[in-house]
Structure 1
Amino acid sequence: MTVKDGYSGKDIKVLKGLEAVRQRPAMYIGSTDKKGLHHLINEVVDNSIDEAVAGYCNYIKVTLTKNNECIVQDNGRGIPVDLVPSEGKSALEVVLTVLHSGAKFSNKVYKISGGLHGVGISVVNALSEYLIAEVHRDGYVWIQEYSRGVPLNPVQRKGKTNKTGTIIKFKPDNQIFKNISFDHDYVLERLEELAFLNPFVTIEFHDENTGISKVLNYPGGIVDFVNSILEHNSLEKLYDIQYVKNVYGDIVVELAFVHNKSDIEIYKSFANNINTIDGGTHLTSFRNSFTKLVNSFAYEKLKDKDISFSGDDIRQSMVYVVSVKIPNPQFEGQTKAKLVSPEVKSAIENTVMNDVKRIFDSNHFVIDSILQKALITYKAREAARRAKQLVIARSKTDILYTVAGKLADCISRDV
């Protein structure tokens, strides 16, 4: 098969509206497999969480229907329905059909937001067989329906209401996804994370397929999160879970940590409620600062001043959650798996070297427990290193003897 030499303006294809999303969905949701499918729910729920963080929402309900639909409902302010002058369309339609639109590019409406790139809910619309948006705002109910990202009608006013909020109902498009059945465990895990990270919100979950219903609210926040991880993994803590919160400029840092009696390290890191599964500056800065702080106490408290713990020595039995909320965060890619905002480094370091240090200064049992556990790991690591060196040294000696013996066998005598 050959390609024609002719190349002109007729060969240029312009993808308008949400066509680009349907043409290359993986660019926007990472993949079209199970992970990408559930990313659609995350994008819609994140909008509701942003309303909660801004102080306008305290209830979110997520329902999975028997028809492979997802319904996300909140009691926030409701997506605006008035005209966007520059577009000549309702704000609701603009948010649902125009990439890089929304109030999250301005700190006036959402100072902290997970939907930074402004493509979330419009991408959900583009990749859904249908989507129905119902807004309760300004005393009325407003509804607009879409098919594969295309509005079927203008925004319609349907009646009066004394409530506020947004309800988004969508069904993933089987032209995009091979499997459009949601996994309730997958969804519930994410909702539980959000409930731990936002103790001021109640999240209700219901799966019509299994009958499973759950109300999620954790007043203890990420302390409850760490405790849940311990219980789920049957781990026994060495001391009470420690928690610090610090506001550093416009950055909010929350840390919760504890060491357990096993050798298991478990951690979770978040930026603006987004699970940064690949870590980033917040996780790296916490680990480095925590190692530095513990080693400073080790120098003061341990008899052997030559001991220097590695990060692994200190964290091998640690369970911890690192959460930051930051204006205009920088992530790698639309799926936001890794935070790369450099300004987070100073905020984390300040929190560890001041707030966590105060815990260690005032509660000697905590730092002594950490040092004792780290010392055991350190000694085991050093013993393994010396044993390895001894084996290598003996192996070299054995090789020399073997080679020398073979050389001796090769020497002939003249008769």
Structure 2
Amino acid sequence: MTAATAEKATDDPHGYSARHLSVLEGLEAVRKRPGMYIGSTDSRGLAHCLWEIVDNCVDEALAGYCTHIGVTMHQDGSFEVVDNGRGIPVDIEPKTGLAGVEVVMTRLHAGGKFGGVSYTASGGLHGVGASVVNALSARVDVEVDRDGATHAISFKRGLPGEFATPGPEGRFKKKSGMRTIRKVAKKTTGTRVRFWPDLQIFIKDATVEQSLVMDRMRQTAFLIPGLTIDVRDERGEEVVEDTFRFDGGISEFCSYLAKDAEIIDVLRLQGRGHFTETVPVLDDQGHLTPTDVERDLEVDVALRWGTGYDTVTKSFVNVIATPKGGTHVQGFDRALVRVLNEQLRATKLLKNGDENVIKEDILEGLTAVVTVRLPEPQFEGQTKEILGTSAATRIVQQVVGRELKKVFDNPPRGQKQPLRAVLEKVVGAAKTRIAARTQRDNQRRKNALENSALPAKLVDCRTADDRSELFIVEGDSALGTAKLARNSEFQALLPIRGKILNVQKASVADMLKNAECAAIIQVIGAGSGRTFDIDAARYGRIILMADADVDGSHIRCLLLTLLYRYMHPMLEAGRVFAAVPPLHRIELIKPKKGQDKYVYCYTDGELRKKLVEFERKGQRWKEPVQRYKGLGEMDADQLAETTMDPQHRILRRIRIEDAEEAAKIFDLLMGSEVAPRREFITAGAAELDIERIDT
């Protein structure tokens, strides 16, 4: 390419060259992309700025130098955080030539938490907290009590200097370096930071709710026993103040979080572990060198089980909340599952062949606070919501597993029975889960069954209006005769083999597995149980057609039990009938004019009455009188005339006049309790006509 060509390409307005690249220096990057550092520019991001300043004070408390923190929300929209820690260094940092405060507030990734010397465990890690707040504030005032004096410096949108008047809009003179404003006692140390959020950055409605600050400060006081935190809100019509101090630590926090009655006292599980981590470290020449560093990780867990079903788990790393968990919570969960399963097997609450309990079973009714402390933890993102240090999983699992096993093996005084109650609660939760899963599987199976093709043995009719009738026929032999006897326009036939399942005793799963019950539900086509829709039923009437004997009565009873339990609306609507086939047939010899040759009787009493009547009239009949043992003994004409032809048949409508009484009768006659049924049979035995028994 010639020089002329290169020059032309550079001047090309549509080209892309180095002059199009932007280089953001210092805190410009934070102001350009604030969401990258604080998540958002709404109320959540504003609260994050306050937490960044508070967390610096908390780190001093963790290190053992701070016993008091004050948080004030001023009426002018500014926030002030005060502590009595060592104070941010005010001497000159040799590499930059700036005071320590100015370095911390204006340089990204600068602070006392990188080398592991100033803080063994801290919430701030990346050295961007204070500098990010400074970049996103219209004004920041910092005062440090140290070395017998109060040192001060102000910043306007990240630039150091001095304001001549109060407030963020006052006259500002850009100036580097600290100024001394008063003398204090040599032993007096601490830091005061007040910042006014920049309205050019945050949305108009961004605010930090009082309740959010109160909850956060209460939580911090729980996590650092002996630390006193004062909160003051001056923004409303009345000033609201509160003080938090909890000497009981996370045990007290666990009790505070739990809303249900306890099954067991709060258990405290503590321990520590070691791991090696490879991190880049600056050498004397300013080069980053990968170095193996030995780390200590402290584990402190408080947990208790209550009578409720909700789970509350709070996790923290160096008192920084990790609402989305992380590797430490994974270790805690794994330890719980392993130890609880071992104890359930040891106490025989879980037998051979039983499924292991899972995390969800164990967490039911559990309140837990999981805290770990370690230098330079690895988080996913500046917002520190998830711990990523992989070694935490192993160490927390080991500590929690070991200490929890000790509790179960050697229960504290008075805790043996409560520990047993915890195991029983976990087993109960597992059984409930398995039952719910079974119910879902049954529902899926039922839906698949209801939507599948109709069974091949169905002999369907041509019409689908209210006239349509479904005859549920006992046996294949009767089906052959019924096919010839029916009116195919509106009468459908479904044969069943023998006695179907007694669904009063069986579970839903067993009912759906039964071929006969499944076929009946499929053919009617309106679902079953709670999902039954009577408007979707394929037939206007259901007619039970069984033999006129004891077995036939039993089959009708079993079918009615199925209809009562799973298709109740059909009975309520009066759309279920029982066919009444004849029991006897009298064949007359030389019948008189207008007299039928065959006379059908439906009961033994009716037969006796007819025979007496014929004898009185001198009418002879063929002996012996035929007694039908089943529907299959009739020919098609006889079955049509006596049982299926609407012009001549007799149907009994099955009604439920008293639903409660009907439920009791079904439970008595068909339920799983044998004793009440035996009493019923014994009590009614004296009323039975022995001659009616087929023996």
TM-score by length of 1: 0.94
- CA–CA separation in structure 1 for the residues paired with 2:408 and 2:271: 16
- CA–CA separation in structure 1 for the residues paired with 2:267 and 2:32: 48
- The aligned residue for residue 199 of structure 1 is 225
- The aligned residue for residue 526 of structure 2 is none
Shift of 1:224: 1.1
Residues 148-167 of structure 1 show CA distances to partners (whole Å, capped at 9, x for unaligned) of 11111321011211110000
Task: Tell me which amino acid in the other structure corresponds to 1:309.
Answer: V
Higher RCO structure, 1 or 2 (CA under 8 Å, sep 6+):
1
- The aligned residue for residue 693 of structure 2 is none
Shift of 1:406: 8.6
Contact 1:68 1:180 in 2 (8 A): no
Contact 1:360 1:366 in 2 (8 A): no
Contact 2:270 2:400 in 1 (8 A): no
Query: How do 1:14-413 and structure 2 match up within 5 A?
Result: 14-152=23-161, 153=175, 154-162=177-185, 163-178=188-203, 179-210=205-236, 211-230=239-258, 234-249=259-274, 250-303=296-349, 304-307=351-354, 308-363=356-411, 364-400=416-452, 402=454, 404=456
Residues 66-124 of structure 1 show CA distances to partners (whole Å, capped at 9, x for unaligned) of 01111000000000011111001111100000000011001111111111010000000
Change (3 A) 1:25 1:392: closer
175-184 or 396-405, larger mean C-alpha shift? 396-405
Shift of 1:4: 3.6
Shift of 1:220: 0.8
Contact 2:329 2:393 in 1 (8 A): no
Task: Tell me which amino acid in the other structure corresponds to 2:428.
Answer: I
Change (3 A) 1:12 1:263: same
- CA–CA separation in structure 2 for the residues paired with 1:331 and 1:401: 56
Contact 1:113 1:272 in 2 (8 A): yes
- CA–CA separation in structure 2 for the residues paired with 1:300 and 1:188: 45
- CA–CA separation in structure 2 for the residues paired with 1:79 and 1:398: 73
Contact 2:81 2:192 in 1 (8 A): yes
Residues 285-316 of structure 1 show CA distances to partners (whole Å, capped at 9, x for unaligned) of 10111111000001100252333101111111
- CA–CA separation in structure 2 for the residues paired with 1:172 and 1:291: 46
- CA–CA separation in structure 1 for the residues paired with 2:156 and 2:420: 61
Change (3 A) 1:401 1:62: same
Shift of 1:409: 6.3
SS class of match (1:104) = coil
- CA–CA separation in structure 2 for the residues paired with 1:164 and 1:369: 52
Shift of 1:393: 3.6
- CA–CA separation in structure 1 for the residues paired with 2:441 and 2:299: 43
Shift of 1:401: 5.8
RMSD: 1.8
Shift of 1:407: 9.4
Structure 1 unmatched ranges of 5 or more: 411-415
SS class of match (1:351) = helix
Contact 2:264 2:422 in 1 (8 A): no
Change (3 A) 1:175 1:405: farther
Residues 43-65 of structure 1 show CA distances to partners (whole Å, capped at 9, x for unaligned) of 00100011111111111000000
SS class of match (2:71) = strand
Please tell me whether Structure 1 or Structure 2 has the larger radius of gyration of its CA atoms. 2
Residues 348-373 of structure 1 show CA distances to partners (whole Å, capped at 9, x for unaligned) of 01211211211111223343122111
Structure 2 unmatched ranges of 5 or more: 1-11, 162-174, 275-295, 463-695
Contact 1:256 1:320 in 2 (8 A): yes
Task: Tell me which amino acid in the other structure corresponds to 2:270.
Answer: K
Residues 201-225 of structure 1 show CA distances to partners (whole Å, capped at 9, x for unaligned) of 1111111124111110111111111
Shift of 1:186: 1.2
Identity %: 37
- The aligned residue for residue 413 of structure 1 is none
- CA–CA separation in structure 1 for the residues paired with 2:202 and 2:338: 47
Contact 2:105 2:134 in 1 (8 A): yes
- CA–CA separation in structure 2 for the residues paired with 1:159 and 1:389: 76
Change (3 A) 1:406 1:150: farther
Superposition misfits of 4+ residues, deviation over 6 angstroms: none
Contact 1:309 1:374 in 2 (8 A): yes
- CA–CA separation in structure 2 for the residues paired with 1:17 and 1:49: 26
- How many residues get paired? 405
- CA–CA separation in structure 2 for the residues paired with 1:33 and 1:91: 31
Residues 241-261 of structure 1 show CA distances to partners (whole Å, capped at 9, x for unaligned) of 111221223111110111111
Change (3 A) 1:310 1:160: same
Contact 1:330 1:339 in 2 (8 A): yes
